[in-house]
Structure 1
Amino acid sequence: MRVLVTGCAGFIGWKVCEYLLSAGYEVVGVDNLNDAYDVRLKRWRLAQLEGKPRFIFYHMDICNRDMLRGLFISPIRNSQFDAVINLAARAGVRQSVENPWVYIQTNVIGTLNLLELCREFEVKKFVLASTSSLYGANNPLPFREDANTDGPLSPYAASKKAAEALCYTYHHLYGLDITVLRYFTVYGPAGRPDMSVFRFIRWIAEGEPLYLYGDGSQSRDFTYVDDIAEGTLRALKPLGYEIINLGSDHPFSLRELIARIEALLGRKARIMQRERHPADVPATWADISKARMLLDWMPRTSLDEGLRQTVEWYLQNRNWAKEVALP
């Protein structure tokens, strides 16, 4: 089975590719290696994949429809893609407020390009990476997939809402089998430097000030990247059209997160408190009963174990990870 993975040098994309390869799939990965955050992280992840049997990489932007189409009809390939997993995206709530245009271009137009090619070349399965950021401040906890998501609080969330709507349209019009996965605060080794786990580890380990937006009582459903990758693979099964949460089902406050990282590093944080950003939701918490029922999936990694592995990765790569620019 041959799978196209977009955003293969991204945090989740890299790990999904590893899981696919371990399961015996052929993987064609594409990534434009943009500088939305420090490209050293993307190159490190890509280096873990390159040279592995059954993996081919193309430096490509999903916004370039002509280049993408060439990938689908390339004579190098002797068979069609069985599935497309679209993990290429501009992510991040706060950055999307500063530059919403690039979010619409990648997350909406890029998704549309892939859906059109799946229709044209009769690809059997499409998986879209979406986000818990779609759930607004007024949705009841834990968040269910049938909650009203018509009030996105950021351009990032709005762009993912649009991508989900396009997916449903292509399912309705052309019968594409599509699974939309709403990921909840993914963390782990080689994670995104705009996310709290990477930043907090870096700031505490290096004795730098830790900037905390809000009072730290806001909570997140931190989900380990390996669990997310496993759930993404399970979503390749035929389901028609489904939206499914993937989260840990166990939210922790930012203060609790900081305390656990302090314990692992044996250092206290120098907390500098700032006002909460208006695009940040006060809490996320995934209802994962649908994932259990349809995918037979549930997270297996506790926050303590996931943080231990993430801290271990940072310390092993500290010589360059400490210099990664923090958006």
Structure 2
Amino acid sequence: MRIAITGGCGFIGSHVVDRLVAAGHDVLSIDLTDKYLNPDAEHARIDVLDLPGLTSALAGREVVYHLAAMADVEQVFADPVRAVRVNIDGTETVLEAARRSGLSRTVLASTVWVYGAALTAEDQLDGEEQELDEHVPIELEHSGHLYVATKLAAEMLVHSYRELYGQHFTILRYGIPYGPRMRDELVVARFVQAALAGRPITIAGDGRQSRNFVYVEDLADAHVRALSPAAEDQTFALEGSTGVSVRDIADTVDELLGPVTIEHIEARTADYAGRRISSAQAKRLLGWSPRTNFADGVGRYADWYRAATGS
């Protein structure tokens, strides 16, 4: 299949390109950088806001994965205007370019952060928080962080293009990804790098914030599976299988690379506290479930980081 992927040289995108190429697909990576470019993929240096350029690049392609985004929540908080332009306007540009080029489907990268707006804390079952799935209603007044708002808006655009123009889609709501090539700002990377450098590990807040981390190569596998006809016009939550608190991350790094010193600082603004989210639909329709346990994934990242930096 002839596939294009925006953000194909980034952290997640480069792994998706690697997996698509390995599966035998003809892949075009659209990215302003070539940092992690797969040598067996084509490359086009085009901005996601460049409608004529994107339309031309997508000509002859069948599916586009839209992963290019402003994903660092701190940068989104600091520069909301640019975040809206890249994450919302960029999605609109990709959808319109795909429509004009006659692509069969657009695959959108979204996030489980949107579930923070799904239900209030009072919505519980037998004293326990409900496990949320792809069909839970979203309460826009609880969207919280601007990053979440941009992803909700992007999802709404995808649904609008399906309703108005018949453009098919797949939405992939990522759990918290980690692994080789991840940004230095991500919590697992920060903790590993601090441990390797002999610096203290710093935890924002009390460390009880829980996430279901998903190893990036497992996430990339889901993208290949999402080409299945069963994924057309569907949304999938791609969560890790086990909740891991920030303190658990620190303890894992300590066990693998320690001993380390742990310090606490003030919590981040509008941080995602984590929700119980089901990936049952991805397993049922795509045959996907995460395979890499957290400690193994952290160890693989540490090995990659040492090799990449010579440390």
Q: TM-score, normalised by structure 2?
A: 0.91
State the match for 2:4 in structure 1: 4
State the match for 1:107 in structure 2: 87
Distance between the aligned counterparts of 1:197 and 1:216, measured in 2?
13
| 1:181 and 2:172 correspond | yes
Q: CA RMSD in A?
A: 1.6
Matches within 5 A, 1:84-103: 84-103=64-83
1:92 to partner: Cα distance: 2.3
Distance between the aligned counterparts of 2:198 and 2:150, measured in 1?
36
* AA matched with 1:12: I
Moved more, 155-164 or 134-143: 134-143
| 1:64 and 2:55 correspond | no
Aligned 8 A contact 1:249 1:286 in 2 = no
| 1:168 and 2:159 correspond | yes
Secondary structure of 2:113's match? helix
Aligned 8 A contact 2:219 2:238 in 1 = yes
Counterpart among 240, 245, 248 of residue 248 in structure 1: 240
1:293 to partner: Cα distance: 1.3
1:71 to partner: Cα distance: 1.7
State the match for 1:128 in structure 2: 108
1:282 to partner: Cα distance: 1.8
Distance between the aligned counterparts of 1:83 and 1:70, measured in 2?
14
Aligned 8 A contact 2:55 2:101 in 1 = no
Segments of 4+ moved more than 6 angstroms: none
Counterpart among 280, 284, 292 of residue 301 in structure 1: 292
Matches within 5 A, 1:172-251: 172-238=163-229, 239-251=231-243
Aligned 8 A contact 1:249 1:287 in 2 = no
Distance between the aligned counterparts of 1:285 and 1:268, measured in 2?
31
Secondary structure of 1:276's match? coil
Q: Deviations over 1:107-134 (max 9, x none)?
A: 1111111111211221011100001111
Aligned 8 A contact 1:249 1:285 in 2 = no
State the match for 2:144 in structure 1: 153
State the match for 1:316 in structure 2: 307
1:308 to partner: Cα distance: 1.4
State the match for 1:292 in structure 2: 283
Secondary structure of 1:287's match? coil
Q: Deviations over 1:141-199 (max 9, x none)?
A: 53322223322221111001000000000111122220100001000011121210111
Q: How many percent identity over aligned positions? A: 33
- Number of corresponding residues: 299
1:256 to partner: Cα distance: 1.1
State the match for 1:77 in structure 2: none
1:101 to partner: Cα distance: 1.2
Secondary structure of 2:241's match? coil
Distance between the aligned counterparts of 1:180 and 1:72, measured in 2?
19
State the match for 1:22 in structure 2: 22
Distance between the aligned counterparts of 2:103 and 2:53, measured in 1?
17
Distance between the aligned counterparts of 2:269 and 2:30, measured in 1?
34
Secondary structure of 2:208's match? coil
| 1:142 and 2:122 correspond | no
State the match for 2:99 in structure 1: 119
Aligned 8 A contact 2:64 2:107 in 1 = yes
State the match for 1:82 in structure 2: 62
